[in-house]
Structure 1
Amino acid sequence: MSRRFDLAGKVAVITGAASGIGRAIALSLAARGCHLALADVNEAGLDETARLIGNSVRVTRHRLDVADAAAIAAFPAEIVAAHGGIDVLVNNAGVALGGTFELISEEDFDWLVRINFEGVVRMTRAFLPLLKGRPQAQLVNLSSLFGLVAPPGQTAYSAAKFAVRGFSEALRNELIAAGSTVGVTLVHPGGVKTSIATSARMAEGIPERLRARHQARFEKALKMPPERAGEIIVQGIERRAARVLVGTDAKLVSLIERLMPVSYWRLLGRRL
């Protein structure tokens, strides 16, 4: 398998493309001449992403809820009609949920897993046949810093992001064993300055003063501009990298987790 992926003239589908990292990935891909199918539930945000990209590449916008299995099953035909095929699938869409396991409702836990994990699996299942039809193709799944370590108050989020990690690594090994031309890039962003902290759901039992304090703490840790994160991720796609750690914090946490696989939170809890 070639290690270099020329993105000019290719077609990429990006979920969660209305803002944040998804929008930044779209802009970096467009700068390389990659045509784009932008997907999100936020149609106004998709319009803004398309406006920022301009007319340098072909851009289509698609309202898609990645928690909707039927919508995902129908989506590949929509993309084939619009673009003829797909070379890159970026599973970026995600949500956040704060609160301890005992405070989080079963409904909220399942809501997050449907979007952050099951959405990735369904999108991959739907588009893998199209990816396999290309001479070179790349599946890009976004995990998280919390797919490397699991902090208290993030049971649902970490469960889903660890699941994305396990799914992606197992699928990569299956594709390698089969001699497939489809590569798998697993991305672990650190603290990227997006709206994920302010838009996160919080367990109902958390007092308002604690909600505000937790959100302020998370927002403080989100430092990297999304444009920089998007560029790092797209550079990883070009290299067909198996793993992309976005930010010094992600690299440091990955190292500490390897050195202290059980007791890492004694150290990281004070920093994060």
Structure 2
Amino acid sequence: MAERMRLQGRTAVITGAASGIGRAIAVSLSRRGCHLALADVNEAGLAETAELARAPEVRISRHRLDVSDKEAVDAFPARVTAEHPGVDLLFNNAGVALGGTFEQVSAEDFEWLFGINFWGVVRLSRAFLPLLRKSDDARLVNLSSVFGLVAPPGQVAYAASKFAVRGFSEGLRHELEGTTVGVTVVHPGGVATSIAASARVPSGATEEEVKRRRRSFQKMLRLPAEVAGETIVKGVEKREQRILVGMDAQALGLLARLFPVSYWKLLASRLRA
């Protein structure tokens, strides 16, 4: 068994750190003495996360960052290293949701989602990989989703982005094998965050459809974000290459392996209940 990753004294960059899973990861890392570079577009939320994560001898910096802005991402490593000596971990956590069928979702909204959920991950990974390579023990952690394991109707754009994160992470892990940089892909299940409530609504969907979908998926968001964050950090400490967060993610992961084509027939009746 590989030696556990020691997080004390290391530095982690976390995107989407203003709330939800990103905030929970920050608090869990801080408890272990890990320094933090917190990034998000929500500066007020970043300030709250920094306060919650505050701990003796833990250095915390806050950075406003839109992960879909290529120029801002390219400049971000320099902003981080102006306040930290190096970077050992990158948590690509920032993400958005977009409900609606493929025909309801506009091309513009589809591209908006990919700009954050996928291209943000790719660009940040490219931007920080030179710094991660300088570390004697580094980890790149990319947040996919349970919808990177299964793809339900009405979530085509979101599932496509999260399957893309999964494929990118697995391929990059193989390329970095034998280096000091490990890659972990995370598949959270129904975590109690605001992602469903704040999801962008496609112009082609009716108000009743939107309400019904939000009610349906809101019922699935039960796992406290704090539990999800701790699960992820413990998995990183164990150098796990794939982390399934929550019993639902574990069950769906197994179902997708056993029934890779017909899993949705087994799930549809239960979700309609």
Range of TM-score over shorter length: over 0.9
Aligned residue for 2:167, secondary structure, equals helix
In the alignment, what sits opposite 1:186?
A: 185
CA contact (8 A) 2:189 2:248 kept: yes
Q: Which residue of 1 aligns with 2:245?
A: 246
SS at match of 2:197: helix
What is the alpha-carbon distance in structure 2 between the residues aligned to residue 270 and residue 257 of structure 1?
Answer: 16
**Local SS of the residue matching 2:136:** coil
Supply the distance in 2 between the matched residues of 1:69 and 1:54 (Cα, whole angstroms). 30
1:38 aligns with 2:38: yes
Q: CA offsets, 1:229-255, max 9 Å, x none?
A: 000000011011100000000000011
- Residue matched to 1:89: 90
Aligned partner of residue 39 in structure 1, secondary structure: strand
% identical aligned pairs: 65
Segments of 5+ residues of structure 2 without an aligned counterpart are: none
Give the equivalent residue in structure 1 for 2:236.
Answer: 237
Matched, 1:104 2:105: yes
CA distance in 1, matches of 2:67, 2:270: 33
Amino acid at match of 1:132: R
Secondary structure in 2 aligned to 1:241? coil
Corresponding residue number in structure 1 for 2:6: 6
CA offset digits 1:81-135 (Å, max 9, x no partner)? 1101100000000000000001101100000001000000000000001000011
Report 1:66-77 matches (<5 A). 66-77=67-78
What displacement does 1:2 show?
4.6
Mapping 1:112-131, distance limit 5 Å: 112-131=113-132
| RMSD, aligned α-carbons | 1.0
In structure 1, the residue corresponding to 2:191 is in which secondary structure? coil
Following superposition, the deviation at residue 205 of structure 1 comes to 1.7
The farther-off stretch of 245-254 and 46-55 is 46-55
2:91 partner SS: strand
Measure the CA separation in 2 of the matches of 1:51 and 1:269. Answer: 42
SS of the residue corresponding to residue 83 of structure 1 reads coil
- Aligned partner of 1:36: which letter? L
Find the aligned partners of 1:271 and 1:98 in 2 and give their Cα distance. Answer: 19
Partner Cα separation in structure 2 for residue 37 and residue 45 of structure 1:
14
Alignment correspondent of 2:17: 17
SS of the equivalent of 2:208 reads helix
Structure 2 partner of 1:226: 225
| Paired position in structure 1 for 2:257 | 258
**3-state secondary structure, aligned to 1:89:** strand
User: How far, CA to CA, are the matches of 2:24 and 2:164 in structure 1?
Assistant: 24
Q: State the alpha-carbon separation in 2 of the partners of residues 265 and 64 from structure 1.
A: 37
Shift, 1:48, TM fit: 0.5
Contact residue 92 and residue 142 of structure 2 kept, 8 A:
yes
- Structure 1 residue runs of 4 or more that deviate by more than 4 Å after TM superposition: none
User: Contact 2:30/2:54 (CA < 8 Å) preserved in 1?
Assistant: no
More helix by share: 1
Q: Deviations over 1:189-212 (max 9, x none)?
A: 000000000000111121112211
200-209 or 119-128, larger mean C-alpha shift:
200-209
Query: How many Å apart are 1:268 and its aligned residue?
Result: 1.5
Give the whole-Å Cα distance in 1 for the aligned partners of 2:12 and 2:164.
23
Mapped partners of 1:238, 1:270: distance in 2: 38
Deviation of residue 180 (structure 1)?
0.5
Secondary structure of the structure 2 residue equivalent to 1:198: coil
Report how far residue 271 of structure 1 moved: 3.0
Distance 2:168 2:208 in 1: 37
Q: Which letter maps to 2:151?
A: A
Q: CA deviation at 1:3?
A: 3.7
